[in-house]
């Protein structure tokens, strides 16, 4: 059995994860015919790294160099763990695939020499002018977590329509008819579909129940305080991301309101901390590993197969039910 320099074997990794030795071996040897989830792949590589097992980089016909562009600041990224996870997993997966990465903020994207860059991955939203300028530097571009209406740029997005519908359907099934929403600083698709599906349920929208934050815990806290100032509260609140939900929890605690006894909460993104909140947060889970792996594969299609047409890939989400919602009587 193959051993690493520190005497760790693939059996040790398999035992740690409760999977077969064959599964670990095929994943660590980059067997592309082996059908296994992106999440399990990530866990195998993480345990291998933790145990100091020597993993050989994936051999490719050519070495690719990927430019990763962050569209939000480092400070905001640290407060919105979803985007932090996107970037970190993108960098890790690229490393395992023997792809060099350079990560910058969008403000610096034209101050870097792009001549050795094979592809560009953008996390978040750039405006049309910024995208057009990038296209003069490289035609191998993929955007993660934002839809781009461009005939030559790929994008990987989540099924936002279904995600919001799942959240509203769930709250409606529990008897909630007065549902609030806390979103970002401007209307986005989460708020658009929230309004759409609340109306489709035959419910009226109370504008006092709709507040905006900035996707940070503090933003969620301030928005919730503003919502609660009206004294007549919704029975449930759909929060546009889990980071803001953390702030909402704090605001409700300060108002002596209990979750879910007084107000039910549904979040969005399923960041790692959401299951450790009190009570654990019901939220929409996004398969970040699948999103990232799809984005890298789209870039490799362009780099290695010279694909020119754009592809738009939609990733399914899942409602993770925990303990932050309560059934109420009609």
- Write down the pLDDT at residue 62: 47
pLDDT along the chain (330 residues), means of 10: 66 90 85 81 88 73 80 89 93 87 92 86 93 91 94 96 98 98 93 98 96 95 96 96 98 98 98 96 96 94 92 97 95
**Nearest CA among 24, 21, 58 for reference residue 40:** 24
The pLDDT, as a whole number, for residue 302 is: 93
Return phi, psi of residue 143, to 5°: -110, 130
pLDDT at 58: 61
Query: DSSP code of 108?
Result: G
In this structure, the strands spanning 282-285 and 318-320 are antiparallel
Q: Which domains does the chain have, with CATH numbers?
A: 10-50 (1.10.260), 64-157+287-316 (3.40.50.2300), 160-285 (3.40.50.2300)
- Tell me what pLDDT residue 38 has: 79
Return the pLDDT at 112. Answer: 83
3-state SS, residue 214: coil
**Is 287 strand, coil or helix?**
coil
CB-count burial class (<10 Å; 0-12, 13-18, 19+) for 107: exposed
Q: Is residue 219 within 8 Å of 186, Cβ to Cβ?
A: no
For residues 122 and 262, give the distance between their C-alpha atoms in angstroms, rounded to a whole number: 41
Helix (H) or strand (E) holding 95: helix 81-96
3-class secondary structure, 253: helix
Tokens standing for 22? 């064959």
Q: Which two tokens stand for residue 15?
A: 């035992």
């Amino acid at each position: 059995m193959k051993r690493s320099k520190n005497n760790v074997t693939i059996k040790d990794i398999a035992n740690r994860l409760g999977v077969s030795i064959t599964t670990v071996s095929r994943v660590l040897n980059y067997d592309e015919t082996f059908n296994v989830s992106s999440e399990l792949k990530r866990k195998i590589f993480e345990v291998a790294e933790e145990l100091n097992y020597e993993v050989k980089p994936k051999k490719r016909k050519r070495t690719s160099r990927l430019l990763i562009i962050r569209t939000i600041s480092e400070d905001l990224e640290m407060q919105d763990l979803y985007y932090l996870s996107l970037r970190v997993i993108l960098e890790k997966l690229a490393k395992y695939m023997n792809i060099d990465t350079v990560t910058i903020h969008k403000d610096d994207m034209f101050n870097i020499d792009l001549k050795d860059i094979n592809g560009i991955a953008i996390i978040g939203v750039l405006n049309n002018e910024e995208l057009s300028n990038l296209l003069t530097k490289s035609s191998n571009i993929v955007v993660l977590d934002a839809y781009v209406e461009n005939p030559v740029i790929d994008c990987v997005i989540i099924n936002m329509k279904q995600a919001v519908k799942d959240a509203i359907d769930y709250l409606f099934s529990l008897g909630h008819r007065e549902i609030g929403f806390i979103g970002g600083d401007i209307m986005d698709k989460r708020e658009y579909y929230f309004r759409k599906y609340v109306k489709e349920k035959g419910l009226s929208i109370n504008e006092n129940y709709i507040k905006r934050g900035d996707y940070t815990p503090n933003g969620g806290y301030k928005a919730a305080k503003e919502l609660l100032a009206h004294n007549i509260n919704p029975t449930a609140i759909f929060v546009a991301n889990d980071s803001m939900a953390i702030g909402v929890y704090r605001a409700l605690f300060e108002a002596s309101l209990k979750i879910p006894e007084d107000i039910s909460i549904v979040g969005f993104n399923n960041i790692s901390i959401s299951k450790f909140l009190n009570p654990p947060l019901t939220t929409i889970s996004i398969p970040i590993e699948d999103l990232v792996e799809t984005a890298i594969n789209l870039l490799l299609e362009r780099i290695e197969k010279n694909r020119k047409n754009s592809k738009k890939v939609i990733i399914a989400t899942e409602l993770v039910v925990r303990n932050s919602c309560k059934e109420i009587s009609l």
